[in-house]
Amino acid sequence: MATQHSRSAARIMMAPAVILLLGWMLVPLTMTVLFSFKKYLPLRGGDLGWVGFDNYVRFVSSSAFWPSVQVTLVIVGGVLAITVALGVLLALLLDQPMWGQGIVRILVIAPFFVMPTVSALVWKNMFMDPVNGLFAHLWKFFGAEPVSWLSEASIQSIIMIVSWQWLPFATLILLTAIQSLDSEQLEASEMDGASPLARFGYIILPHLGRAITVVVLIQTIFLLSIFAEIYVTTQGAFGTRTLTFLIFQRVLESQNVGLGSAGGVYAIILANIVAAFLMRIVGKNLDS
């Protein structure tokens, strides 16, 4: 619905963004795919020629690969389960009438604004340190032996740190969704004799379905590539080496670019599967 003139103006005005993003996507992607078919060791001879699918095979067959996939999935799954479950509860709670609602909401949201390196460091040192951490004090107070969290329960600790960062996000979105629920629907179901539990199960939860899907998909995309939390706390030790971290180590620490790139292609495929689902939901939203 516009004139030829405005259409051509629109094309010109969109060009910079499209070209930049196209370049940002295509150039590194092409390079990664190219490298993945090469033996490429920048510090030990550089580009040593084509090797076909060698890197892909080696990456998958390395003893570190499957554990890293497993760790990735455990962390992503754990964080999703915790944030969605607690997020729904918290959203329901915050939706109730109370005094100081605005302040409570600010308190709950705060962790989301803390940069990942800070939150990892604070948790690592001030809470999870086996000697001076607050948890150690708490354990001693109850007569228990302090736990060396990040080495003995490393995955659980990382899930806990990451969940703390992402809980606000889940809560905020679920709260928004709850508030968009038509209160007449709830009143109607009350007139129909539904108990509070039935109202939650039959009205509220189905209404939240879409919001939960969005939370799960968006968090998955970010969680698949969590980096700073592991970089700062365990450096991938104690069974916390995720796929992202494994690739990072192959590329930057052992400087095996070919192998790392093959891993990168795997990560890209993984992310694209999730992204495809998210895009479908967002796309539907565009139509309405």
Question: Is 74 one of the binding residues for another protein (CB under 8 A)?
Answer: no
What count of Cα atoms within 13 Å lies in the side-chain half-sphere of residue 262?
23
Question: Is 63 one of the binding residues for another protein (CB under 8 A)?
Answer: no
Containing H/E element for 38? strand 38-41
Residues between 235 and 274 with contacts to another protein, criterion CB under 8 A? 244, 247-248, 251-252, 257, 260-261, 264-265, 267-268, 270-272, 274
Q: Kindly tell me which of 153 and 271 has the beta carbon lying closer to another protein.
A: 271
Q: What is the spatial distance between Cα 131 and Cα 41, in angstroms, rounded to a whole number?
A: 42
Q: Kindly tell me which of 4 and 63 has the beta carbon lying closer to another protein.
A: 4
Phi, psi of 282 (to 5 degrees): -65, -40
Q: Write the single-letter amino acid at 139.
A: W
Q: Which region, judged by CB under 8 A, interacts with another protein, from 65-73, 103-111, 146-154, 197-205?
A: 103-111
Q: Write the single-letter amino acid at 148.
A: S
Q: Which region, judged by CB under 8 A, interacts with another protein, from 61-69, 130-138, 150-158, 199-207?
A: 130-138
Chain centre distance of CA 224: 5
Q: What is the spatial distance between Cα 208 and Cα 91, in angstroms, rounded to a whole number?
A: 11
Could you tell me if 229 and 157 are in contact, meaning their C-beta atoms sit under 8 angstroms apart?
no
Among 109, 147, 155, 194, binds another protein (CB under 8 A): 109
Q: What is the spatial distance between Cα 235 and Cα 242, in angstroms, rounded to a whole number?
A: 10
Q: How far is the CB of 271 from another protein (least distance, A)?
A: 5
Among 121, 153, 181, 194, binds another protein (CB under 8 A): 121
Residues between 163 and 222 with contacts to another protein, criterion CB under 8 A? 164, 167-169, 172-173, 176-177, 180, 183, 210-211, 214, 218, 221
Phi, psi of 49 (to 5 degrees): 95, 175
Residues between 20 and 49 with contacts to another protein, criterion CB under 8 A? 20-21, 24-25, 27-29, 31-32, 35
Among 70, 73, 105, 159, binds another protein (CB under 8 A): 105
